[in-house]
Amino acid sequence: MTAADIAEIPVGSRKIRRLAIGVVLFLVLYSGAWFLAANQIESRLSAFLMERQATGSSAQCGGMDVRGFPFRIGLFCDTVRLDDATQGASATFGALRSAAQVYRPGHAVIELDGPAEIRVSPDLSVSVDWALMHASIQATLSGLDRTSMTYDKLAGTAVLPATEEDAVAGATHKLAFSAAHGETHFRQNGPDLDAALSVDQFDAKLDNGLSLLPPINASADMTLVGQAALMQAGGLKPKALRNSKGEMRNLTLDLGGGMVTTASGPFSVDDRGLISGEFRVTMKNIEGWRQNLVKVFSNEDGTAVVNNIANMLTALADGKNEATVKLNVRDGIAFLAFFPIGELPQL
């Protein structure tokens, strides 16, 4: 081809040729970068999981694979296993699938299959399955910013720890539970941590008997002051909330039939895990709550406590079936009008 022939090639054709070459080079570089990133994720995660085994807290991803080319990238596991030797706990799950857009790697969506088997020393075991469980996480250069988890049609059984009387009699108790839907959300709010939780149509039966209570809808919305760092620490761990404080913006328990109880107010947790706080509590349909709770606390002492609380609430409400009272909690003991009515568990 002579110089004259080259000169005759249209300028537009040369631009198209250069564009085509550029596209091919971009695809080659992009593909190489994607597979290099996938290889790095898989190799570094495997090394990290191996290192964690030496600390007594480990995780295993069976059949680990990184997929999603060309526009997504995500980790896939055939099975998932978690072990915490220091807490005497272990858990196994089904397949895990995750995906993040390559242009937004800090936002990942995760799906986890059941069934799950969870064991906590000395003698608590839980078997649970669900129709759908998925989560999302959003991270920035400074770490995890927010996370959410939702599930549908969850059902399972728990073998409860034996009491001293059970141990003597050689008896165990099983709790069957189910929920139609549930959600958990955490986000950093400056130095604080916002949390919102809800569960719909939660039902529980002890030893395959009748439901302890009517199916309950429950929700909680709170802020944990100065606890944003928990997002970087991998979530709530035993004793993580000790020496902390927060604000319960709204706690709602709804049994249907007008039986609704709400609570709100500030609280604190001391170095022993004991809760203190002052809560504004509203209970609607006091008589309905009484009739249902005496079925749960069916022994003589439990029935007496339920009846006494219901009578006090009715008296404070001038005989009405709805009351709004101030509930004081001091070192884990709840007081209603100077009378202790219950003990909260340690955190």
Q: Nearest CA to 102 among 154, 151, 37? A: 37
What is the span of the domain harbouring residue 308?
Answer: 238-347
In a domain, 318, yes or no: yes
Examine the pLDDT at 176 and tell me if it is beyond 50.
yes
Please give the single-letter amino acid code of residue 138.
Q
Q: Facing residues of 38 across strands? A: none
What does residue 310 show for φ and ψ, rounded to 5 degrees?
Answer: -60, -40
Looking only at the bridges linking them, the beta strands covering 260-269 and 275-284 are antiparallel
In a domain, 336, yes or no: yes
In a domain, 23, yes or no: no
Examine the pLDDT at 234 and tell me if it is beyond 60.
no
CA distance 173 to 166: 9
Q: What's the pTM? A: 0.83
pLDDT-above-90 percentage for the chain:
41
CA distance 336 to 340: 6
Q: Could you tell me where the beta strands, DSSP code E, fall in the chain? A: 57-62, 65-67, 72-77, 79-84, 89-93, 96-101, 107-112, 116-120, 124-129, 132-140, 143-160, 173-189, 192-206, 216-225, 244-254, 260-269, 275-284, 322-330, 333-336, 339-343
CA distance 182 to 161: 25
Per-residue model confidence as pLDDT tens digits over 107-158: 899 999 989 999 988 778 999 999 999 999 888 766 778 899 999 999 999 9
278 neighbors 266 (Cβ within 8 angstroms): yes
Examine the pLDDT at 4 and tell me if it is beyond 50.
no
In a domain, 261, yes or no: yes
Total domain count, the chain: 1
Determine the average pLDDT of the residues in 85-106: 87
